[in-house]
């Protein structure tokens, strides 16, 4: 396995898929800190990160910025086309992409990547295509589990863990 990029859907993958609106009409989303640490670990190991989502959301933009994503594609209902454009723009081979999606609108993208992935609560059609299915639901650490799976398969996990241990030791923790 030679995964170079992790590409993620948002609702149902990075978030639990719940949409909460305030009385003033603002939208709220929650994100897992476990997913955040996993994505930081992926970056430490040299992987690139991207989001492809049909929705446009300032919260997603903020989260992508916090975690230093390499690409953020919002407002893309056709995720397969968006994924192909990402590949062209960054000269990526589809076989080098791990994509996690949870619902029917992710099927096209999942069919063309090297490592199709799904959270535990993905629809059955997505799970049928997935080569990795998380043991937890989207928004609750599914991405973190996927990152660990990829890094272990590529022989990078122990190095990432050692880096975190070294950082903790260097800071007297």
**91-110 tens-digit pLDDT:** 999 999 999 999 999 999 99
- Order the strands of the 48-53 sheet from edge to edge: 71-74, 48-53, 5-8, 97-100, 115-118, 132-133
| Predicted confidence (pLDDT) at residue 172 exceeds the cutoff of 70 | no
pLDDT the model gives residue 151? 97
- CA 6, CA 21: separation in Å to the nearest integer? 29
- CA 122, CA 143: separation in Å to the nearest integer? 13
163 is in an annotated binding site: no
Q: Which is higher by pLDDT, 172 or 160?
A: 160
pLDDT the model gives residue 27? 84
pLDDT the model gives residue 94? 97
Q: Are 99 and 80 in contact (CB under 8 A)?
A: no
Q: Which of 98, 139, 140, 134 is CA-nearest to residue 12?
A: 139
| Predicted confidence (pLDDT) at residue 173 exceeds the cutoff of 70 | no
Question: Going by C-beta distance under 8 Å and a sequence separation of 6 or more, which residues neighbour residue 108?
Answer: 78, 79, 80
9: region left, alpha or beta (phi > 0 left; psi from -120 to 50 alpha): beta
Angle at which helices 157-170 and 33-44 cross, to 10°? 100
The SS3 of residue 73 is strand
Q: Which of 70, 64, 54, 65 is CA-nearest to residue 19?
A: 54
The model's pTM: 0.94
DSSP letter string, 88-124? HHHT--GGGEEEE--SGGGHHHHHHSSEEEE-TTS-H
**Model pLDDT for residues 22-33, shown as the tens digit of each residue:** 899 888 889 999
35 is in an annotated binding site: no
How far CA 157 is from CA of 17, 45, 163, 164, in Å, comes to: 29, 8, 10, 11
Q: Which of 100, 86, 155 is CA-nearest to residue 131?
A: 100
Domains of the chain (ranges, CATH numbers): 5-170 (3.40.50.1000)
| Predicted confidence (pLDDT) at residue 169 exceeds the cutoff of 80 | no
11 is in an annotated binding site: yes
């Amino acid at each position: 396995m030679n995964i170079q990029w992790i590409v993620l859907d948002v609702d149902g993958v990075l978030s639990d898929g719940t949409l909460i609106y305030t009385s003033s009409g603002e939208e709220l989303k929650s994100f897992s800190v476990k997913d955040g640490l996993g994505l930081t670990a992926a970056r430490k190991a040299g992987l690139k990160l991207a989001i492809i989502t049909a929705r446009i959301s300032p919260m997603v933009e903020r989260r992508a910025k916090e975690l230093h994503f390499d690409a953020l594609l919002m407002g893309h209902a056709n995720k397969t086309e968006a994924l192909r454009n990402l590949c062209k723009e960054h000269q990526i081979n589809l076989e080098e992409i791990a994509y996690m999606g949870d619902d029917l609108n992710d099927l096209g993208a999942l069919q063309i990547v090297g490592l199709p992935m799904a959270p535990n609560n993905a629809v059955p059609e997505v799970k049928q295509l997935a080569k990795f299915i998380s043991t937890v639901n989207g928004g609750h650490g599914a991405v973190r589990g996927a990152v660990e799976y990829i890094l272990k398969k590529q022989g990078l996990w122990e190095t990432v863990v050692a880096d975190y241990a070294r950082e903790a030791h260097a800071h007297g923790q």
